[in-house]
């Protein structure tokens, strides 16, 4: 079947089997290998991309056909004009990655988190990233990176009751 997906502002028209998963469409049909596949069963969050600017989705658990006519943001689309996105800069500055495998998913999940909660507490960030696993266990710095991007680093930790 024919699908057309707008990925990072570029229209990709491709002929795919209905069973093609979005993660593989992005990696193999669009050549955008920044989206990583970890567990392949919706448990780890490596493959998260943003749909229509507001929703973080696990691209291993969605068909490319479902993205037909929609906008997808992948890690390749975060930086603008050679300037890193605030989240990417945060991960850089705070050493938010070790092996880097989970990083694209962490970035895009955080991207949507900050859209809905521009001033998240540390607890909000930890809760919001609960569906993303880092096998290097570098969570402390990942949380700091998101705090830096949100401009809440150094503020006292408050929990939303």
**Binding of residue 75 to another protein (CB under 8 A):** no
**Binding of residue 41 to another protein (CB under 8 A):** yes
3-state secondary structure the chain: CEEEEEECCEEEEEECCCCCEHHHHHHHHCCCCCCCCCCCCCCCCCCEEEECCCEEEEHHHCEHHHHCCCEEECHHHCCECCECCHHHHHHHHCCCCCCCCCHHHHHHHHHHHHHHCCCCCHHHHHHHCCCCCCCCCCHHHHHHHHHHHHCCCCCCCCCCC
Q: Which is nearer to another protein, 77 or 128 (CB)?
A: 128
| Residue from 90, 100, 88 nearest 134 by CA | 100
**Binding of residue 128 to another protein (CB under 8 A):** yes
**How far apart are CB 17 and another protein at their closest, in Å?**
7
Alpha-carbon Rg for the chain, nearest whole angstrom, is 16
**Binding of residue 43 to another protein (CB under 8 A):** yes
Which of 127, 136, 139, 153 is in the footprint of another protein by CB under 8 A? 127
**How far apart are CB 160 and another protein at their closest, in Å?**
11
CA gap 106, 100 in Å, rounded: 10
**Binding of residue 62 to another protein (CB under 8 A):** yes
**Binding of residue 131 to another protein (CB under 8 A):** yes
Q: Which is nearer to another protein, 58 or 144 (CB)?
A: 58
Q: Which of residues 78-107 bind another protein (CB under 8 A)?
A: none
**Binding of residue 129 to another protein (CB under 8 A):** yes
- What does the binding site for another protein look like in residue numbers (CB under 8 A)? 1, 17-19, 21, 40-43, 45, 48, 55-58, 61-63, 65-66, 68, 109, 112-113, 116, 127-132
């Amino acid at each position: 079947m024919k699908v057309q997906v707008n990925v990072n502002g570029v229209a990709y028209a491709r002929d795919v089997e209905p069973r093609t998963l979005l993660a593989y469409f992005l990696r193999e049909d669009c050549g955008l290998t920044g989206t990583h596949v970890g567990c392949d069963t919706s448990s780890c969050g490596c493959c998260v991309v943003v749909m229509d600017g507001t929703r973080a989705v696990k691209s291993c658990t969605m068909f490319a056909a479902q993205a037909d006519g929609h906008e997808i943001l992948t890690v390749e689309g975060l930086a603008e004009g050679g300037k890193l996105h605030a989240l990417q800069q945060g991960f850089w500055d705070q050493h938010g990655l070790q092996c880097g495998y989970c990083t694209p998913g962490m970035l895009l999940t955080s991207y949507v988190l900050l859209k809905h909660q521009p001033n998240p507490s540390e607890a909000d960030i930890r809760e919001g990233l609960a569906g993303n696993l880092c096998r290097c266990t570098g969570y402390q710095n990942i949380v700091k990176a998101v705090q830096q991007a949100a401009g809440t680093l150094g503020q006292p930790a408050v929990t939303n009751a």
